[in-house]
Structure 1
Amino acid sequence: MLIKTLLILLALIGLAVPIAASLGWLGLILQWTDSPMPLHRAISDMAWQTSTDFLLVAIPMFVMMGEILLRAGITERMYDGIVKWLGWLPGGLMHSNIGSSALFAATSGSSVATAATIGTVAVPQIKKRGYNERLFLGTVAAGGTLGILIPPSINLILYGLLTNTSVPELYLAGFLPGFLLALLFMATVVVACMIRPEWGGDQLRHSWAERLAALPALIPPLGIFMVVVGSIYAGLATPTEAAALGVVASMALAAFNGKMSMETMRHAIEGTMRTTAMIMLIIIAAVFLNFVLSIIGLTQALTDFVTGLGWSPMQTMLMIVAVLILIGCFMETLSMLLTMAPLVTPIVVALGFDPVWFGILLMVLLETALITPPIGINLYVVQGIRKAGPMMDVIRGALPFVVTMFVMLGLLLVFPKLATWLPSLVY
């Protein structure tokens, strides 16, 4: 049954059927072939219950916050400020790409928005500063993936909703792995530029006076981060309420920068509606599919099969990681999260692993999927910003960072406290 399910899903994706329709059709097909009950009659009720979940209100709020910040004019100043602090390292602006991505990820919650925003500022510098184009593009694509892991993350909210896991705990668990992964990306650049110094472009030197003068440019994104995440852990707001506070703070920031206008809000609201509609349609289709899989017994059968193999928990976990890496090459990350999390998490919990820890491991796997061909979305985002040149340049530039993500996965498997230490101090 599992093989049939995967084959049908891959066939629908191969036919270029939109992912929400693919998930919905898969649920309908499995209902017709494996269920004696007309499960499709539950779609309207499930769509209503899913759409009115209070936690999901955070999604349009975070999307709108990111849309306003994109138009608030903070990105260029933030990027220039980070250049002053990180530009001296071997690789120069490539470290600024990663550092800016980490900082912007802590406000936008979206990997695609992070890659697009930082890429727009950074890519024109490649020729001007003499960088190796492939590696430079790879830093933009890889840095953008940090939006999934570093709080506030839309994907962590969805994982918490799908698996009944505390979102504040997941946010705490994402801090150390998120910033550690950013440091590992920077270490990858340093190693590459030490081996091939000509890849590092012009050496950048800035005085301490210039660095200190650049600090005010870093305050706005840090301020938004403190409003959103700080309000959660101060006990002042739920994740949904914190997202609304983030929207208010981003509007205030846009007004302070003189970017607040009816035109700005119109574009922000339109972008929010488009993105939210896409996300919600995929969520509703995935919830229906998961309902069908549960009714026909596939979820329980898969759990029984894996736990009945007689493998050790770590051997089973390594198999799960390998399968998810393979699936990530062919499935868009949001769809992968919504489809796989309800299937795999019960197995992981049955093996004795912490669902909070697995949520962070899954986020790193989703990050890997963002830059692995042929469906790595961030690769296409960066190529779209670049506009000219072969796609293979972006793919090859991202490959060293795929290896870095494998290292991060290994660290999480060997040292699970990287994800569980901070939550254990608070909860």
Structure 2
Amino acid sequence: ALFFMLTVVVACLLRPAWGGDKIEISWRARWQTLPDLGPPLIIFIVVIGSIYAGLATPTESAALGVLMALVLTAWKRRLSWMMLREALEGTMRTTAMIMLILIAATFLSFVVTSIGVGRQVTEVITNSGLTPLQTMWLIVALYLVLGMFMESLSMMIATVPIITPVVIGMGFDPVWFGVLMMLLLETALITPPVGLNLFIVQGVRSRGQIRDVMIGSSPFVIALLAMIGLLVFFPDIALWLPRTVG
């Protein structure tokens, strides 16, 4: 988030027109908008606070966040049966989609493990003479190239059962690799020519070509690449929070 904030600031300083028209707002109006931040802040404190206090697991804290959202919605008198129905239907659709993906991933992982692909790839890389760091950079380059032509979810399902045993076999932390994988998948979402988020942004624009969206995403791609480089060289950036939570 800090890298993206810096990217926006630097881009607007170099190209002021990218920031749009300046909006003048008084300090009084700013203070009047602060109460609107209350409900999201309360939910954030409940979710993160329950984890840090040891009162709930991440899954349980997510349920507490949903419960708090319902309480706040009812307190503002905006809760209705129609809203609950739409929320439950959306949750069921998302859950069904995730379960289908997990079933497919489990089946693929079973097949890959049964035929020994992961073990063979691990042996080939181990006997190649490359250092673990050099191998990791090759894996990063592989995901960056695949991200240009594959959808991120398909890429993850197809490669994780093969790549993960290699990474763990070289002594890398699986939690660290999971964070690195998320950054690589986020990069794939905004990398042309098949970046899904690029087409979403183009779809909500009223005019212009998708080439403009691709050019506009380039600073954020650079920021993501910088974050990936920092994670590779300084793994503790990704491991500090899990170690703190325990």
The equivalent residue for 1:316 is 135
| Cα distance in 2 for residues equivalent to 1:391 and 1:267 | 33
Pick from 184, 187, 190: which aligns with 1:371? 190
| Cα distance in 2 for residues equivalent to 1:318 and 1:250 | 42
The equivalent residue for 1:413 is 232
Q: State whether residues 118 and 166 of structure 2, in contact with CA within 8 Å, keep that contact through their aligned partners in structure 1.
A: no
The equivalent residue for 1:251 is 70
Q: State whether residues 330 and 374 of structure 1, in contact with CA within 8 Å, keep that contact through their aligned partners in structure 2.
A: yes
| Cα distance in 2 for residues equivalent to 1:238 and 1:365 | 27
Q: Taking structure 2 as the reference length, what is the TM-score of the superposition?
A: 0.90
Q: State whether residues 43 and 68 of structure 2, in contact with CA within 8 Å, keep that contact through their aligned partners in structure 1.
A: yes
Q: Which runs of 5+ in 2 are unaligned?
A: none
1:389 is aligned to 2:217: no
| Cα distance in 1 for residues equivalent to 2:11 and 2:61 | 40
| Cα distance in 2 for residues equivalent to 1:287 and 1:360 | 21
Displacement, 1:291? 0.4
| Cα distance in 2 for residues equivalent to 1:302 and 1:257 | 57
Q: What amino acid is the match of 1:219?
A: G
The equivalent residue for 2:105 is 286
| Cα distance in 1 for residues equivalent to 2:194 and 2:128 | 31
The equivalent residue for 1:198 is 17
C-alpha change, 1:413 and 1:192, in structure 2 (3 Å) is same
The total of aligned residue pairs comes to: 246
What do the CA deviations read for 1:331-390 (whole angstroms, capped 9, x no partner)? 222333333333222211221211121111111111101111233222222223225432
Q: What amino acid is the match of 2:35?
A: P
Question: Comparing both chains, which one has the higher relative contact order based on Cα–Cα distances under 8 Å and sequence gaps of 6 or more?
Answer: 1
C-alpha change, 1:271 and 1:232, in structure 2 (3 Å) is same
Q: Taking structure 1 as the reference length, what is the TM-score of the superposition?
A: 0.54
Pick from 46, 51, 54: which aligns with 1:235? 54
Q: How does 1:199-348 map to 2 (within 5 A)?
A: 199-348=18-167
Q: State whether residues 282 and 335 of structure 1, in contact with CA within 8 Å, keep that contact through their aligned partners in structure 2.
A: no
| Cα distance in 2 for residues equivalent to 1:333 and 1:228 | 28
Q: What amino acid is the match of 1:412?
A: L
Q: State whether residues 361 and 409 of structure 1, in contact with CA within 8 Å, keep that contact through their aligned partners in structure 2.
A: yes
Give the superposed CA RMSD.
Answer: 2.0
Q: State whether residues 290 and 342 of structure 1, in contact with CA within 8 Å, keep that contact through their aligned partners in structure 2.
A: yes
SS in 2 for 1:352: coil
C-alpha change, 1:274 and 1:380, in structure 2 (3 Å) is farther
| Cα distance in 2 for residues equivalent to 1:290 and 1:386 | 40
C-alpha change, 1:421 and 1:243, in structure 2 (3 Å) is closer
Q: Which runs of 5+ in 1 are unaligned?
A: 1-181
| Cα distance in 2 for residues equivalent to 1:254 and 1:383 | 33
Q: How does 1:7-406 map to 2 (within 5 A)?
A: 182-406=1-225
Q: What amino acid is the match of 2:167?
A: V
Q: State whether residues 190 and 198 of structure 2, in contact with CA within 8 Å, keep that contact through their aligned partners in structure 1.
A: yes
